Amino acid sequence: MPHDFDMVIIGGGAAGLTAAGISASLGAKTALVEANRLGGDCTWYGCVPSKTLLKAAKVAHTIKTADRYGLKASQPCIDFASVMRHVHSTQKHVFNEADAPPIYEKMGIKVITARARFLTPHSAELTHNDGNISVISSRYFVIATGSSPIVPPIEGLSEVDFLTNETIFSLSKLPKKLVVVGGGPIGIEMAQAFRRLGSDVEVIDMADRILPKDDLELSGLLRHSLMEEGIRFTLSAAVRKFQSHNGSARVIAQSAVDGKELLIEGDALLISIGRRANTQALNLKTIGISLNKSGIVIDKHCRTSVKNIFACGDVAGSFQFTHMAEHMAKVAITNALLHIPLSIDTDHVPWVTYTEPELAHVGASEDELKKKSIAYNVYRFPFSKIDRAVTDAETVGMIKVFAKGTTGKIYGVNILGANAGEMIGEYAVALRHGITLRRIADTIHPYPTYVLGNRRAADQWYVRKQSRTFVRWLRRIFGYRGQLPDTSDPNRIV
């Protein structure tokens, strides 16, 4: 008996929408099942609202620090409710332009609002919003149900009104003090946004640093910059208990440094300690799909332990980014429908934290290179030497490249600075396609731009290769009379 569909995608976030679009474009009869609104975390709780809020906060900060540009600085007049209306308006715009059901229905995709639960590897039970239940069958399934914020089982948390990334954008009143538990990207971005909009902000984390996935040196520089804006950090502190006190939330923590008890209080509490794959309601174990602590177990082709079922996005990976979700969706559909063994690329995934300055990286970290005993050189270029950064008064930052000294082969790149998220893309392409520092240095970049800093960083490979012996040889052959270069400082920048 033929199946109802060739392909059914469960989940209508970034991964699911991408998978559905590609599936339909390949001629497969496609259905997209989503329990709530299309758009997923990115549109409603993540990328879109957070970056909109960060932009509003940046404008407020620019007004406050306008003297950097020879203008009169003043205190911005902030109507927080109006800011949040702007955030919601932006979300609706993105939804209408990219996520709305009619867009996908025009592609020939059947959009179904329902909760899915597998019955067999080829069929699922759908519970519709009106309570009706139906069954759908398909030759292939792609699971793209995303992830949800982790709520830690800590004493007292259930008695406190707390926020996650799924509720913080519902605020209409600016908190006097926001306490953020978690020093990862979401927590740090929201800390800066709310501080710039007028809240006192304190970040608590059990680690001794923020953004542990990023370069230690550059994340430290970012933390210093955030502290200068008035954000307080309580690190190396384990949260032991939460309490409600006169309408505020109290966080009781213990210092790992001296064992002392710490009490932090605020009228708003954001829990931002990570995310968990949404797998609970899918009945996966019954049909033999393997799970681990990250979510659904997949191979390099996005195939689960059941051969006709694939998974992509947050539900199946440790790289919980929209751009990675879209990449995995492409891999899943290509393998399922075309039987072409396309593999997930986990070696060249760009990471960006959208603070100001931004912090981005791609490729291997310094710790990874050391663990693998890979010899490398570090090539640096400060934003204070990028002319566009100087004209924009955005000189805080550094480009830091790990590469092979003899050939310029790039192993990893870290960038702290304005537009780091835009700049890191060039290095992602370079890493993916084996482009060396020599080739980047030999490529004309427009002036004055931030991306010219990428070329200037690559130039340092030439600078480091230049030895006094080589220049002495040139002087002898051509009769040059200039001074020999000073190579005593291995980190000199030209």
pLDDT in tens, 182-208: 999 999 999 999 999 999 999 999 999
User: Which of 255, 274, 293 marks a domain boundary?
Assistant: 274
Q: For 4-151, where are the E strands, in sequence order?
A: 5-10, 30-34, 110-120, 123-128, 133-143, 147-149
Instruction: Enter the tokens of residue 30.
Output: 């496609």
pLDDT at 182: 98
Residue 423 lies in a domain: yes
User: Which of 248, 274, 300 marks a domain boundary?
Assistant: 274
User: Which of 274, 295, 325 marks a domain boundary?
Assistant: 274
Q: In this structure, are residues 118 and 285 in contact, taking their beta carbons and an 8 Å threshold?
A: no
Full-prediction pTM beyond 0.85? Answer: yes
Residue 135 lies in a domain: yes
User: Same structural domain for residues 280 and 142?
Assistant: yes
User: Same structural domain for residues 118 and 179?
Assistant: no
pLDDT score of 464 more than 90: no
Question: Residue 313: which region, alpha, beta or left (left: phi > 0; alpha: psi -120 to 50)?
Answer: left
User: Same structural domain for residues 130 and 252?
Assistant: no
Residue 180 lies in a domain: yes
pLDDT score of 490 more than 70: no
Where residue 466 falls among pLDDT bands split at 50, 70, 90? confident
Q: What's the CA gap between 165 and 182, in Å, rounded?
A: 12
User: Same structural domain for residues 10 and 135?
Assistant: yes
What 3 state SS string does 394-414 have?
CCCCEEEEEECCCCCCEEEEE
Q: In this structure, are residues 352 and 187 in contact, taking their beta carbons and an 8 Å threshold?
A: no
What are residue 181's DSSP bridge partners?
204, 271
User: Same structural domain for residues 329 and 384?
Assistant: no
Mean pLDDT over 401-429 rounds to: 98
User: Same structural domain for residues 362 and 401?
Assistant: yes
Which residue type is seen at 339? H
User: Same structural domain for residues 429 and 378?
Assistant: yes
Q: How far is CA 58 from the centre of its chain?
A: 19
Q: What's the CA gap between 213 and 184, in Å, rounded?
A: 9
Full residue range of the structural domain in which residue 413 is found: 351-478
pLDDT at 492: 75
Indicate the DSSP class of residue 287.
G
Instruction: Render pLDDT for 233-276 as a digit per residue (tens, 0 to 9).
Output: 999 999 999 999 998 999 999 999 999 999 999 999 999 999 99
Q: What's the CA gap between 42 and 146, in Å, rounded?
A: 10
Which residue type is seen at 106? K
CATH of the domain at 384: 3.30.390.30
Angle in degrees, CA 89, 354, 389, rounded to 5: 115
User: Same structural domain for residues 240 and 130?
Assistant: no
Where residue 317 falls among pLDDT bands split at 50, 70, 90? confident
Residue 49 lies in a domain: no
Q: Which residue has the higher pLDDT, 487 or 337?
A: 337
User: Same structural domain for residues 266 and 397?
Assistant: no
Q: How far is CA 196 from the centre of its chain?
A: 21
Which among 151, 172, 153 is positioned nearest to 162, based on CA atoms? 151
pLDDT at 23: 99
In this structure, what are the phi and psi dihedrals at residue 150, rounded to the nearest 5 degrees? -75, 130
Mean pLDDT over 126-148 rounds to: 98
Residue 312 lies in a domain: yes
Q: In this structure, are residues 50 and 59 in contact, taking their beta carbons and an 8 Å threshold?
A: no
Q: In this structure, are residues 241 and 269 in contact, taking their beta carbons and an 8 Å threshold?
A: no
Q: What's the CA gap between 60 and 299, in Å, rounded?
A: 46
Q: What does each C-alpha distance from 216 to 209, 259, 400 come to in angstroms?
A: 8, 25, 12
Give the neighbor-by-neighbor strand order of the sheet with 200-204. Answer: 232-234, 200-204, 177-181, 268-271
pLDDT score of 1 more than 80: no
Instruction: Render pLDDT for 268-306 as a digit per residue (tens, 0 to 9).
Output: 999 999 999 999 999 999 999 999 999 999 999 999 999
Which among 248, 196, 8 is positioned nearest to 111, based on CA atoms? 8
Report cis status (omega within 30 of 0) of the bond before 341. no
Give the H or E element holding residue 132. Answer: none
Across all residues in the chain, what is the average pLDDT?
97
Q: In this structure, are residues 83 and 4 in contact, taking their beta carbons and an 8 Å threshold?
A: no
User: Same structural domain for residues 206 and 217?
Assistant: yes
Residue 81 lies in a domain: no
User: Same structural domain for residues 266 and 326?
Assistant: no
Angle in degrees, CA 112, 117, 123, rounded to 5: 80
Mean pLDDT over 335-361 rounds to: 98
Q: What's the CA gap between 175 and 193, in Å, rounded?
A: 12
Q: In this structure, are residues 403 and 461 in contact, taking their beta carbons and an 8 Å threshold?
A: yes
Instruction: Enter the tokens of residue 336.
Output: 């399922």
Instruction: Enter the tokens of residue 293.
Output: 């602590």
Q: How far is CA 5 from the centre of its chain?
A: 34
Which among 189, 231, 182 is positioned nearest to 205, based on CA atoms? 182
Q: Name the domain count of the chain.
A: 3
Instruction: Render pLDDT for 43-71 as a digit per residue (tens, 0 to 9).
Output: 999 999 999 999 999 999 999 999 999 99
pLDDT at 245: 92
Give the H or E element holding residue 121. Answer: none
Report cis status (omega within 30 of 0) of the bond before 448. yes
Q: In this structure, are residues 308 and 140 in contact, taking their beta carbons and an 8 Å threshold?
A: yes
What are residue 203's DSSP bridge partners?
180, 233
CATH of the domain at 195: 3.50.50.60
Residue 58 lies in a domain: no
DSSP, collapsed to helix, strand or coil, labels residue 203 as strand
User: Same structural domain for residues 108 and 196?
Assistant: no
Residue 473 lies in a domain: yes
Crossing angle of helices 80-94 and 47-64, in 10° steps, is 140
